[in-house]
Amino acid sequence: MYNILVCDDDKEIVNAIAIYLSKEGYNILKAYNGKEALKLIENNEIHLIILDIMMPEMDGMEVANEVRKTKSIPILMLSAKSEDYDKVAGLNNGADDYVTKPFNPIELIARVNSQIRRYTRLGTIADKEDENKNIFKTGELIINDDIKQATVEGKEIKLTPTEYNILKFLTKNKGKVYSIEQIYENVWDDEPYGADNIIAVHIRHIREKIEINPKEPKYLKVIWGIGYKIEKID
């Protein structure tokens, strides 16, 4: 039973989030401004904080700053502010994730699950398997080439052989950008052929399988007009 603190000055939003997350089996604590949130954090064992930015008395940024002084609880910011610089400011102020309003409940749940898993699972299996040359890893994305298996945050992902090869190739060379042609040459055994966008289609499919929100991917990034890459996450 994990405790999640939801803090927003809009009571209906807090309640809606509470309903969704309760169904997932979390215990929800509610706060309607920054000060209440800090008090609850003080007195309870909290595993995740969902925090609105624009609030009376004390805003989300200040709360995040305050929490970060003593605790490493994951903070997920939830805000109507959707500009890039808002997101950057939030993440710089101690947030671990940033979701814009209006949010997709499924995405929110997935992100909450992901953060909880990361926070609660200490000493991941990856640590000891790092030495295995056939295991490729970035963040929570792990590819075990021995058993031809890909997992994200512990969940196995079902991939076609081509998708698996592409993902393996990109993960092996994480952080580097490859154009469609380069991926062809490295993944296909044969010469590149006809259908120009077949790789692009595969990539989209992979993204839909491994990402929480395929439009804002965490692992498989699209650099438009240049190519694709797997983000290097330590």
Partner 1 sequence: MEKLRNSDTLKIISYILIPFLMLAIILGAIYIEYNSYNKEDLARGDYYKTDSFVYNEYYPNIQRIFRICSSIDEGIREQGEYYNSFVDNYVLVQETPTRIYYSQTYRSYYNGFNYIIIDESGTIFTNIQTENYNAKIEEMKNSEYYWYKENSTITSNLEQINDKGLAYNYGLENLKDTKNSKFSIYTAFDKEQPVTLKYRVNVAIYNFIANVGNMPIFAMSYSILMLFIIAVYLIWAIGHKKNKEGIYLSNFDNFSYGIIFIVVSIVIATFMTIGRECLANIDIFTLVIALISYLICYIACAVIGITTIKRLKARSFIKTTLTYKTCKWIKKKVKETSNLILWNKEITTKLIIYYISFLVISLFLIVATATTMGFCVILLLIFWALVLYLMLNYAKQLNNIKQNLKSIYEGKQEIKIETTNLEKNLKEMAEYINSLSLGLTKAVEESLKSERMKTQLITNVSHDIKTPLTSIINYVDLLKKEEMPNEKVKEYLRILDNKSQRLKRLTEDLVEASKATSGNIKLNIENINLKELIKQISGEFEDKFNEKNLELILQIPKEAVQIKADSRYLYRVIENMYTNIMKYALEGSRVYVDILKNNEKVQIELKNISKAKLNIKAEELMQRFVRGDTSRNTEGSGLGLSIAESLTKLQGGNFSIHLDGDLFKVVIEFIIK
Per-residue interface string for the shown chain with partner 1, residues 175-214, x marking contact by CB under 8 A: ----xx---------------xxxxxxxxx----------
Smallest Cα–Cα separation from 98: which of 52, 58, 139, 59? 52
Question: Does residue 226 belong to the site contacting partner 1 (CB under 8 A)?
Answer: yes
CA 109 to CA 131: how far, in whole Å?
Answer: 33
Record the tokens describing residue 193, joined without a space. 């052929």
Return the number of the residue (40 or 198) whose C-beta is nearest partner 1: 198
User: What's the burial of 94, exposed, middle or buried (CB within 10 Å: 0-12/13-18/19+)?
Assistant: buried
Q: How far is the CB of 231 from partner 1 (least distance, A)?
A: 16
For strands 75-79 and 220-223, give the pairing: unpaired
Return the number of the residue (158 or 215) whose C-beta is nearest partner 1: 215
Query: Binder to partner 1 among 107, 149, 222, 231 (CB under 8 A)?
Result: 222
- Which residues inside 9-38 make contact with partner 1, applying CB under 8 A? 10, 12-13, 16-17, 19-20
- Which residues inside 114-153 make contact with partner 1, applying CB under 8 A? none
Secondary structure, 3-state, 131-195: CCCCEEEECCEEEECCCCEEEECCEEECCCHHHHHHHHHHHHCCCCCECHHHHHHHHCCCCCCCC
| CA atoms within 13 A of residue 186's CA, in its CB half-sphere | 17
Per-residue interface string for the shown chain with partner 1, residues 68-87, x marking contact by CB under 8 A: ------------xxxx----
CA 229 to CA 54: how far, in whole Å?
Answer: 35
Return the number of the residue (58 or 222) whose C-beta is nearest partner 1: 222
Q: How far is the CB of 105 from partner 1 (least distance, A)?
A: 5
Q: How far is the CB of 101 from partner 1 (least distance, A)?
A: 4
Concatenate the DSSP letters of all residues of 45-63 into one string: --SEEEEESS-SSS-HHHH
- Which residues inside 37-56 make contact with partner 1, applying CB under 8 A? 54
DSSP code at position 44 = S
Number of residues that bind partner 1 (CB under 8 A): 35
Return the number of the residue (137 or 229) whose C-beta is nearest partner 1: 229
Q: Which residues would be at the binding site for partner 1 (CB under 8 A)?
A: 10, 12-13, 16-17, 19-20, 54, 80-83, 100-103, 105, 179-180, 196-204, 222-228
